[in-house]
Chain A
């Protein structure tokens, strides 16, 4: 079969799959789930096929990268239909962030900066929802802003979801009194610096165009000195690094961060230097935070996929190294034969 034909079949299968699930969602069908027997069967098949690939590799028949892609697709997609739950332990940095929020007294002001866009939403949106929910549960005042243009829009999506929940809706929270969205401001780290002087100068109106002075909860908020805790959600520049360098270093702000899994390793240096008070790293961090907040969100739901995909990547790394050692051994053997 030609490559083009294979590509067409792959695209057609994915399209059909997506259509089926969209129609089920729109017509109110229940989420599809494998029975346990099928789940174990699928896992077993995947394991056996990986073993088969290992055998092929030992025989010198290397697989192409598209096969790797297919396995990653299975590893990420299939667990979504498996009724598997996994036990997770809480990392110290996630616990630290949770404790930092719990230390805030009712009425404290928390500034949340949304510095990410939709591609990073799968990792950061669960963190945002959990954090906002926890703030509302603890009667903290939430001030939202963004250094990325799409940040405040992501914030609105998170707010919308959290405010619809029964427990939070019962609190009857008011915009401008309990929470506010100041919107996006261009200028990267200079915005943070400007906020150290005056929030109003950097955000003369809120997201909806309402003047700063007309927002009741901001009447006593001039700059960082009037904020009790900051939480930054970031996936790049400007992000947590700039917030640490300006808000923490220059203005002594108490701050926690939520980062994508790629960026999180960079933040450990700041965490260990006590410049960060808590860190959520990737979907793992989001899931652990949801456990602490006692909430069944997307972070926990998708960790099964993450587990499977990590195992698949490790399997391919091992298979690749087997191929590497086999080829090295073959060269050595050939060398010996020539010498003999």
Chain B
């Protein structure tokens, strides 16, 4: 009844980690896949004492049945200690659902091994090189822009239309709504949205048009208030600003959508901006705005929501156009330079993709492996 033991047990420090982990590998018992005599493998560990293993303690139990080598990571090890490991093949005998017998076969002892922390994750070398290249291009073009060279940036329809959209609201004597999405201040899209809000607030203050900013997150409310207040001060209209222009509704996605929809249908704003991170509520908001005839400008980096905004809004900023908004609206050379640098980075990736596709088609596999990023 006792199965044959597993063999080929090897132990080594787990690479590319903060220490505290050991990788144990073993080959299955010959009775495992062929005869189905093994139910589990039990993994035991003992602390080293004077070069010898102390008492073995079970640390894990894994189900049997694989026909290839088993791998287990013991993530509970101490860097200060050395360990020995052994693996046992276990057969459980059950009768009427109850375990009536256990047959254990122990492997040879493997070790000693000590976990070690690494100072650099070698599996992420390609990501490091990529980030370094991209950062270099961005910083290079920022410095070039600072030196006075003019940089071309193509027209972005949605951003060109901001003044026109605010003007429309002014002419109609109605308000502007600015919806900054569901993201919190840790989200890049929300930061980009807040940046555009500053510009919209300046124009709204200049034309004396009421700007309403219902938000979904408390921290966004706090930041947005600062931005709008500053924008009003910049154009010399600090008296026109009211704290309640930027107000919190709810963190709940559809509660927020319902509240905004209700406000849109009742107040009938002439212009609505949707900028930031949106999810399923995007079409609900955009269609409601469309139904009241408002001019709508949207911008998001959520690929799943872009089609809805394109269908329901007059202008849509797609993906990185949202992140370029800050540079586009301010025309500041440093910011334009960073966009140019990112574009050059994109060109490099494009070339790499084309080269990679050609290599893969002709069976030269190593090139694409250069771009893989290892896990922990």
Interface residues in chain A, defined as those with a beta carbon under 8 Å from any beta carbon in chain B? 65, 104-108, 117, 119-120, 196-197, 220, 222-223, 225-226, 235-237, 248-252, 260, 262-263, 265-266
A251, closest chain B residue (CB):
B376
Within 8 A of A (CB), among B229-275: 253-254
Cross-chain contact A250 with B253 (CB below 8 angstroms): no
Q: Are A235 and B64 in contact (CB under 8 A)?
A: no
Q: How far is the CB of A257 from chain B (nearest CB, A)?
A: 14
A sample of 7 inter-chain contacts (CB < 8 A) reads: A105-B66, A107-B61, A117-B253, A222-B75, A223-B75, A225-B73, A236-B280
Bound-state Cα–Cα, A117 to B76, Å: 34
Bound state CA distance, A106 and B376, in angstroms?
Answer: 27
**Majority-rule SS of B interface residues:** loop
Given contacts A251-B376, A252-B375, 8 further A-B contacts (CB under 8 A): A105-B64, A107-B61, A119-B253, A225-B72, A225-B74, A236-B280, A260-B280, A266-B303
B60 at the interface (CB under 8 A from A): yes
* Of the residues B61, B291, B376, contact of A250 by C-beta under 8 Å: B376
Q: Does B21 contact A (CB under 8 A)?
A: yes
Whole-angstrom distance between the alpha carbons of A114 and B373 in the complex? 27
Contact of B65 with A by CB under 8 A: yes
Q: How far is the CB of B164 from chain A (nearest CB, A)?
A: 26
Contact across chains for B291 and A236 when beta carbons are under 8 A apart: no
Give Cα distance in the complex from A237 to B280, angstroms. 11
Q: Mark B327-341, 1 if CB is under 8 A from A, else 0.
A: 000000000000000
Chain B contacts to A: CB under 8 angstroms: 18, 21, 39-40, 59-66, 72-76, 182-183, 253-254, 277, 279-280, 291, 303-305, 373, 375-376
| CA A85 to CA B119, docked complex, whole Å | 60
Contact A107 B291 (CB under 8 A): no
Q: List, in ascending order, chain B residues with CB within 8 A of A226's CB.
A: 60, 75
- Rounded to whole angstroms, the CA-CA distance of A226 and B59 in the bound complex is 11
B75: which A residues are within 8 A, CB to CB?
197, 222-223, 225-226
Cβ of A265: which chain B residues have Cβ within 8 Å of it? 303-304
* B279 and A237 within 8 A (CB): yes
* Distance between Cα atoms of A135 and B227 in the complex (Å): 51
Tell me if A235 and B280 are in contact (CB < 8 A). yes
**CB-based contact B63/A105 at 8 Å:** yes
For A222, the chain B residues whose CB sits under 8 A away are: 75-76
Residue of A nearest to B21 (CB): A225
* Distance from B307 Cβ to chain A, minimum over Cβ atoms (Å): 9
B253: which of A104, A225, A236, A266 is its contact (CB, 8 Å)?
A: A236
Q: Which residue of chain A has its CB nearest to the CB of B40?
A: A107
Residue of B nearest to A117 (CB): B253
Q: How far is the CB of B278 from chain A (nearest CB, A)?
A: 10
Q: How far is the CA of A235 from the CA of B376 in the complex (A)?
A: 27
Residues of chain A with a CB closer than 8 A to B373's CB: 249
For the complex of A and B, list the 4 residue pairs with the smallest distance between their C-beta atoms, beginning with the closest: A225-B73, A105-B63, A107-B63, A252-B375
Known: A107-B40, A223-B75, A250-B376. Is A236-B61 also a contact (CB below 8 A)? Answer: no
Residues of A near B65 (CB, < 8 A) are 105
Closest to B287 in A: A65
Determine the residue in chain A with the shortest Cβ distance to B20.
A197
Residues of B within 8 A of A236 (CB): 253, 279-280
Which A residues touch B303, using CB under 8 A?
265-266
With A and B bound together, what is the CA distance between A285 and B254 in angstroms? 24
A117 to B250, CA, bound (A): 15
CA–CA, A317 to B60, complex, Å? 58
Which one of B59, B182, B279, B305 lies within 8 Å of A220 (CB-CB)?
Answer: B59
Which residues of chain B are within 8 angstroms of A107 by Cβ–Cβ distance?
A: 39-40, 61-63
* B291–A106 touching, CB < 8 Å: no
CA distance A242 to B21 in the complex (A): 24
B277 contacts A237, C-beta separation under 8 Å:
yes
Chain B residues with Cβ below 8 Å from A250 are 375-376
Centre residue among B60, B72, B304 by max chain A CB count within 10 A: B304
With a cutoff of 8 Å between Cβ atoms, the chain A residues found around residue B60 in the complex are: 220, 226
A108 touches B63 (CB 8 A): yes
* A262 and B63 within 8 A (CB): no
In the complex, A125→B21 CA distance in Å?
Answer: 37
Give the complex CA separation of A299 and B84 in angstroms.
51
Contacts of A220 in B (CB 8 A): 59-61
**Which chain B positions have C-beta within 8 A of A235?**
279-280
A81 smallest CB distance to B (angstroms): 28
Flag if B280 contacts A249 (CB, 8 Å).
no
Q: Which of B62, B72, B183, B376 contacts A196 (CB 8 A)?
A: B376
Measured between beta carbons, the chain B residues less than 8 angstroms from A249 are 373, 375
**Which of A104, A108, A250, A266: most chain B Cβ within 10 A?**
A250
B376 touches A119 (CB 8 A): no
Whether B375 and A262, one on each chain, are in contact in the complex, defined by CB atoms closer than 8 angstroms, is no
Cβ 8 A contact of B280, one of A105, A119, A225, A248: A119
**A117: which B residues are within 8 A, CB to CB?**
253
Alpha-carbon separation in the docked complex, A120 to B60 (Å): 37
Assess the A262–B72 pair: CB atoms within 8 A: no
Closest chain B residue to A265, Cβ basis: B304
* Distance to closest chain A CB from B153 (angstroms): 28
Shortest CB distance B23–A (Å): 9
CB <8 Å contact, B254 and A65: no
Residue pair B280, A252 in contact (C-beta under 8 Å): no
A225 to B14: give the CA distance in the assembly, Å: 11
